[in-house]
A and B are shown apart, each in its own frame.
Chain A
Amino acid sequence: MNLALSDEQVFLREAARGALSRFKTLQAAREALDGNENALPDLWPTAREAGWPGLLIDEANGGAGLDAFDAMLVLGECGRVLAGIPLLGHLPATAILGDAPNAVEMLGDLATGERRAAYLPAQPPSELEQRWSADPASGAARVPLASVGAPGQDGRATVTGNFAFVPDAPGADTLVGVALREGQPVGVAIEADAPGVSIEPTRRYDATRSLGHVTLENAPALVLDAPEESLVAAWYLAQALIAAESLGSVETALDVSVAYAKERFTFGRAIGSYQAVKHALTEVLRQLENGRSLLYYAGWARNGGPGEFALAASAARSVGGRALDEAARTMISVHGGIGATWEHDAPLYFRRAQLSRRLLGGTGQATDRVAGELIAQAA
């Protein structure tokens, strides 16, 4: 039994925290909301320097050959300071490519970060949504997944379909995802500057989150020989990563709220001494600890119990999303009126919480997946 961080993992986390502390990410997030998008620092060079783009690419192809759990640690640090680093899109894309022997040549530049990939989110079928689907641009109905034609001699084919709110799509060099050929999922890699590809950056409630609507119209694609398990696992990897990122944000929201509850006095005593405040903060801690435990579960399952990865990652996403909402709302209420003002950081975490919970299928889909996996196990 060993469910603790290794020395290397502690170092990875501390190094990430140190690297990100050099930027005023929260101030930049506020300025960007005010219309100055240029205020957002370009953190990709920092990510490259730290080796994060190649985290999940094996060493033979220039990466660090680390695990999903290591990637989750880095995303957690990004979440703590609301750093907009395009890893949520890049890492699941590299995981698919790493499983595709015919994409091996692409890995070197993606590992160094010379080139950047974005994952086109594709949700595997479930009992209630019995087909592969993509996130809709609006509304509750999920969108049928893109289709891909028969590949030619060169292994290339054309893809047609829509993917809404694709994390980190704007500015990506390569789009990697799943499309259907005669109903069967196949991996595809598409150059972002190819004909038939359009990436429309979206206006965002949380300015630190880069998103784009991707439209593919007979866009030329390399058909990947990645196995179907890899295409399924990429979805859950993305779930685990956004869960880790959310829980990082919860850590900061809780730390800041606790610090304020110790120093703010009313009726002659610190507000943190009142049960109403103390219990609200303890509830955030409870949800945070539950989320952390599920990150361990997902990190373990990715390699140690692949059959449970869908369950573990979905549970982490479900709990992580709810925890972030709770933490952000508590952060605002503990601070009183000031917590709801533009100058305070609390609204930035609140905005992060509201948008994050609706991306990548939304926490609702993840919660349903937990039930679906357990019901299937019980049958």
Chain B
Amino acid sequence: MDLDDTPEQAAYRAQVHSWLDEHRGEAPILHGPGALEDEDEIVAARRVWQGKLAEGGLAGVTWPKEYGGQGLGPIEQVICNQEIARAKVPGILDAIGVGMLGPTIIAHGSEEQKSRYLGPMLHGDEVWCQLFSEPAAGSDLAAVQTRARQQDDGTWRLSGQKVWTTNAQFASYGLLLARTDADVPKHKGLTMFVVPMDAAGVTVRGLRQISGEAEFNEVFFDDVALEEGAVVGGVGNGWGTGLTTLMFERVTIGLGSEGMGYSSTRFAGAIAADEHARRDPEVRHRLGEIASELLAVRFTGYRTLTALQKGQIPGPEAGLAKVTIVSGAIKAGDLIADVIGPDALSEDSEWAYMISFLPGLKSAGGTEEILKNTVGERVLGLPPEPRLDKGIPFSELRSKEGAAA
């Protein structure tokens, strides 16, 4: 039992460390003195920085070499993330593209798609967004209603709405899950497309949240024309293609949990700063309970890494760590606000933003309720809840739902 790098990992860490040492000065400053403030400038600077990271081999660590990656494993990805965090420089701008969508194209895309899209994606020249969730299809993703209809000449026409789309306001392309056949059961009539975000009929609108900021977007598609070659992974295979993306999403979230910044050390620091609170038994008890669980998640992460290192794939139980992180951070925000008082909720407080952000995070990447169902069924082997949507054509399902309501 040890937490040490192997000699190979240590060598890789040193290599990443020395690159960052050399190039740290070129990174955009996002916080503190001299920080960029204009949104467009920030995005532009982060795109340039992503290009440099890619040149240095610090982006696309797990991508195959033939597509510009390093051909390394998830452990090296974690080491790279750790060193970037330690150097206090921003990571890549397009973590969604490089972490999830690129790997999906590598797995399911045509040769043309790979050679056209992967290079500019990796270097930050073209940012991507994930167009999966809809107002009425989130945890039940296969219920998407955005409709793509094939024309006589083989091209497609796309209409519908997506939501929770990070980076859509400056993305060049999106990977979109659409319904192409409503007369088959819902998982079967789906197809994945590449959508140019500057196409006629695409409208992006910021979606403001509790904090007042717009972290996400709504994206509307009004009879958008798509080429025949926009299909990724074959017509009717959209569900399988999408599952690949979701698998990479799980790995990305699992490996990035420490980077969410919800650590026992940070929260304890806020309590320690208050001379009275740090001696208050009730405050200490609440902090102790929260911190114990967050410490556990750190070591759950190490257990996941050990499994990856042995070539095993982390299962859905890794998702339980997300439940712990989010509920722990919510309780910590609550405790810190109790200690600091209303000032914790002022606009310039780091805690106000966190407190506002967390309720939504409970549902990010699938709601907590669905996550618990998945773990209960896949890990504990409990029987699934009876479903009303199995084997029924999607078109009939909609009317059935209407009748039941």
Contacts and interface: CB of A to CB of B under 8 A. Distances in A.
Contacts of B281: 128, 368
Q: Which size bracket describes the interface of A in this complex?
A: 35 or more
A299 B284 CA distance: 25
A290 B328 CA distance: 12
B385 A299 contact: no
Contacts, number: 188
Contacts of B265: 374, 377-378
A375 B268 contact: yes
B75 A258 contact: no
Interface in B227-283: 264-265, 268-269, 271-273, 278-279, 281, 283
A168 to B, nearest CB: 26
A278 B376 contact: yes
A379 B277 CA distance: 13
A278 to B, nearest CB: 4
A270 B383 contact: yes
Interface in A269-327: 269-270, 272-275, 277-279, 281-283, 285-286, 289-294, 296-297, 299-300, 304, 311-312, 314-315, 318-319, 322
Nearest to B75: A1
A285 B321 CA distance: 11
Interface string B296-320: 1111101101110110000001001
Interface in B320-367: 320-321, 323-324
Interface string A326-369: 00000000000000000000000000000000000000101111
Contacts of A277: 382
A322 B264 CA distance: 18
A3 interface: yes
Contacts of B110: none
B404 interface: no
B371 to A, nearest CB: 9
A375 B4 contact: no
Given A3-B306, A272-B383, A368-B284, A296 B299 contact: yes
Nearest to B2: A2
Given A1-B2, A1-B302, A3-B306, A367 B324 contact: no
B1 A378 contact: no
B405 interface: no
B300 A275 contact: no
Given A2-B1, A2-B306, A3-B1, A367 B382 contact: no
A275 B375 CA distance: 12
Contact of A4 (B291, B310, B317): B310
Contacts of B269: 378
Q: Which size bracket describes the interface of B in this complex?
A: 35 or more
A161 interface: no
A319 B284 contact: no
Contacts of B385: 273-275
B25 interface: no
Nearest to B4: A1
Nearest to B270: A378
Contact of A3 (B3, B264, B372, B379): B3
A262 B381 CA distance: 8
B380 A367 contact: no
Interface of B: 1-5, 9, 75, 264-265, 268-269, 271-273, 278-279, 281, 283-285, 287-289, 291-293, 295-300, 302-303, 305-307, 309-310, 317, 320-321, 323-324, 369, 372-373, 375-377, 379-386
Interface of A: 1-4, 6, 69, 127-128, 254, 258, 261-262, 269-270, 272-275, 277-279, 281-283, 285-286, 289-294, 296-297, 299-300, 304, 311-312, 314-315, 318-319, 322, 364, 366-372, 374-375, 377-379
13 contacts: A3-B302, A128-B281, A258-B381, A272-B382, A286-B324, A315-B291, A318-B292, A319-B296, A368-B288, A370-B295, A375-B268, A377-B268, A378-B268
